[in-house]
Structure 1
């Protein structure tokens, strides 16, 4: 997965961290969580606030 795969990342985060409320995760921690996913393979420098926001919003929708 790459940073642009926000929906796929959100699904993986939801499955790996079902106990976490995505609304409470700050962007620094979110970036670490994404980079810790087994299928994730992208450069951390390619990540920005907009990408993290898109991932977080998709994760919130997935959790609801």
Structure 2
């Protein structure tokens, strides 16, 4: 997975962190969670605030 695989990342986060509220997570922790995903393989420098916002929104949608 890469940073642009927003939906896939959100699904993986939802499944691997069911106890985390995506509404309450800060971007520093969100970035760490994404980079720790087993299938994630992308350059950490390619991530920006807009990508993290999109991942967070998709995670919230997946949860709901």
Gaps of 5+ in 1: none
Aligned residues: 64
Name the CA distance, whole Å, in 1 between partners of 2:18 and 2:62: 10
Show the counterpart of 2:38: 38
Q: TM-score, normalised by structure 2?
A: 0.99
Structure 2 stretches of 5 or more lacking a match? none
RMSD: 0.3
C-alpha distance in 1, partners of 2:17/2:7? Answer: 15
**TM-score, with structure 1 as normaliser:** 0.99
User: Structure 1 CA distance, aligned partners of 2:45 and 2:54?
Assistant: 17
